[in-house]
Structure 1
Amino acid sequence: MKTAAAQFDLFDAAPGYREVPRPTPKNRPAACGPVSASWNAEEAARRLEAEGNYRVLRKLVPRPIVARNESHYPHLAVLVDTETTGLYHARDEVIEIGAVAFTYEDGGRIGDVVGVYSGLRQPSSPIPPEITRLTGITDTMVAGKAIDMAALDALIEPADLIIAHNAGFDRPFCEKLSPVFVPKAWACSVTEIRWADLGFEGNKLGYLVGQSGLFHEGHRATDDCHALLEVLARPAGEGGALPFAELLQSSARCRIRIFAENAPFDMKDHLKARGYRWSDGSDGRPKAWWIEIDEDLYGDELRYLRAEIYRWSEAEPPAVRLTAHDRFRA
């Protein structure tokens, strides 16, 4: 058996081998020098992509802010994003809000950024460690901070539409923060755009940004608003559709929320398979399985419930008609 001293590394040169210095090729540069002033990074990126073996992400640069009266687009929307101490608006608090106001036209083409707001807020109790881990916001950062409600309200008040990437989460927190949000029409860029049909692999903002050929740093509230704006503005899919145009169309449609109240217990798997979700009644809604559908599908859904679930031709489950002004409320 060999001793450790007698063993040699199989990836080393053989014992007794003496390496002879190799001549340096004449065309090899001695060292990497500074990048030439003529270097064109964008041209290099395009050439790499043209090979088909590379995909280059561009750093997202926020659009410049222009005065509202200098923008030729008639409508105004505001992207909002909140960071909070938890998931429940009834007990948790906003610790950061970001908002980016932009103009747009009826067809869904985005115009100019005309306002930005970013503010931190000290909550009534320390920020939970898991929230700091997720958001990067610490108690030190928010100490003594308060949201400038006058500035925020001035940005929101003239808006035709408020957009959030998960409006079901952000709207209740925003309405708790300021009454200016309450009468507004809201749209959700998670649920009201068919991202898969546009060629995206998911609806999380990170996926959308990356697959749009961009990356952004920070992931703070306002950073995410700027990132979402660029995703909404860029043509996507085989037909080059504008995601924001689809969002506008979706938000303009009326929807019906149906509660399959008193449905037989043994029908729960059928309802779940059809897309119904359970409400335990804690949020003031009926304690029942429910679904939200386009208004023109209401007749078909009612016939399904009567025939397959209640088995009673005159059943009238509770239903609520929703517009963009009502959707995504608590």
Structure 2
Amino acid sequence: MGQQFDFFPPDENKPHKASASIIPKADGPNVANEEAMIRHLQATGRYRILTRIEPRPIVLNPRPGFLMRGVIVDVETTGLNHRTDEIIEIGAIAFTFDPSGRIGDVTGIYAGLQQPMKPIPADITRLTGITEEMVAGQLIDTGSLRALVDPADLVIAHKASFDRPFCEAFSPILSRKAWACSASEIDWSARGIEGTKLPYLLAQHGLFHEGHRALDDCFALLEVLATDNPGTQASAFSELYAASQRSLMRVFAEHSPFDMKDHLRARGYRWTDGSDGEPKSWWIDVSEEMLEDELKYLRAEVYCWEEAEPLVRRLTAFERFRS
């Protein structure tokens, strides 16, 4: 006969300790007890169970068939501006995958701290837990990092437009690689998930972790990417890898009339002042299939001239998300 659990007190009118209602009678916790409690709580429909992420083991001899290499990268920094702020921690996980986007094995990890030239702001310490004492005298080992990155076919960051400029300002190691962004290049809403922040994605996948340390966030992202969502035919990573293979077309609305700025912004255009090396103008990234429609819009609504030829630049994964 199986063990019985007192999930509810036998008499609701009798005093009882609140914690006793979910503690099994058996001596000491075990897997069977834990699984039974989880099943019971889920069956009530009143609880959602989150499971702590267990980092995948490093495999010295990865399984055959997963011939491609990926690296997930995350950085902690002293601020948001890659021109004035610095990396204080970098984490990286190397893994194998196949052309269909199936993830294989973790083949290596790296985590390193670095002492910045200026003191770490107090709000960054509160957010990350990284203190001045932790980074004192520390240097990121670029040799170890290069050993993971050099074989990589793809570098992934959860907000690549943030991570890539910081990484390239720090070292050229990652500058010649194809990058993909798991926040912007996966249609999470089509997967039934409205938010894109990593803690939210984890919770929606029934997971949690101790966030805001670089390597922890890398392991968390790996699990999110590897998970199939109900109603979808492919993992999030397979969608991301497919997106990385496509080109985007960056369209610049140079010399557009000033009174069109609100129209351009509403359409999704962004402004660059030219300090990043791009033309000083409004711009937008569109798929190759949508390029002609975008050019027609500019000619008809912005320039009012059918012969206008806006500047267009093709962006592959090697160029995307640069500063």
Same fold? TM cut 0.5: yes
Asked if 1:135 corresponds to 2:137, the answer is no
Q: Which moved more, 1:107-116 or 1:169-178?
A: 169-178
Q: Secondary structure at the match of 1:95?
A: strand
Cα distance change of structure 1 residues 137 and 110 upon mapping to structure 2, 3 Å threshold: same
Asked if 1:290 corresponds to 2:276, the answer is no
Measured in 2, the distance between the counterparts of 1:35 and 1:321 equals 61
Correspondent of 2:149 among 148, 156, 165: 156
- 2:62/2:107 contact within 8 Å kept: no
- 1:198/1:241 contact within 8 Å kept: no
Q: Secondary structure at the match of 2:275?
A: coil
Q: Secondary structure at the match of 1:40?
A: helix
Shift of 1:237: 3.7
Letter paired with 1:41: E
Query: In the alignment, what sits opposite 1:269?
Result: 262
- 1:163/1:189 contact within 8 Å kept: yes
Correspondent of 2:272 among 259, 275, 279: 279
Measured in 1, the distance between the counterparts of 2:97 and 2:189 equals 24
- % of aligned pairs identical? 57
Query: In the alignment, what sits opposite 1:254?
Result: 247
Q: Secondary structure at the match of 2:73?
A: strand
Asked if 1:327 corresponds to 2:312, the answer is no
Deviation string for 1:192-227 (max 9, x for gaps)? 001111011200001000110001124300000000
Measured in 2, the distance between the counterparts of 1:182 and 1:168 equals 13
Moved over 3 A (4+): 22-25, 32-39, 68-72
Query: In the alignment, what sits opposite 1:242?
Result: 235
- Equivalent residue runs for 1:188-207 within 5 Å: 188-207=181-200
Letter paired with 1:256: M
Shift of 1:44: 2.2
Correspondent of 1:89 among 69, 82, 96: 82
Shift of 1:186: 0.3
Query: In the alignment, what sits opposite 1:178?
Result: 171
- Equivalent residue runs for 1:91-110 within 5 Å: 91-110=84-103
Measured in 1, the distance between the counterparts of 2:97 and 2:272 equals 37
Letter paired with 2:39: R
Shift of 1:53: 2.3
Letter paired with 2:73: V
Q: Secondary structure at the match of 1:82?
A: strand
Query: In the alignment, what sits opposite 2:205?
Result: 212
Letter paired with 2:86: E
Whichever of the two has the greater Rg, that structure is 1
Q: Secondary structure at the match of 1:111?
A: strand
Cα distance change of structure 1 residues 36 and 300 upon mapping to structure 2, 3 Å threshold: closer
Q: Secondary structure at the match of 2:57?
A: coil
TM-score normalized with structure 2 length: 0.89
Letter paired with 2:298: L
Deviation string for 1:257-289 (max 9, x for gaps)? 111011111111211111111112222222211
- 1:197/1:237 contact within 8 Å kept: no
Deviation string for 1:60-118 (max 9, x for gaps)? 10111101555541111000000111111122111000001111111111111111100
TM-score normalized with structure 1 length: 0.87
Measured in 2, the distance between the counterparts of 1:189 and 1:258 equals 23
Measured in 2, the distance between the counterparts of 1:252 and 1:68 equals 28
Number of matched pairs? 304
Structure 2: gaps spanning 5 or more residues: 1-12
Structure 1: gaps spanning 5 or more residues: 1-21
Q: CA RMSD in A?
A: 2.0
Measured in 1, the distance between the counterparts of 2:167 and 2:232 equals 35
- 1:255/1:294 contact within 8 Å kept: yes
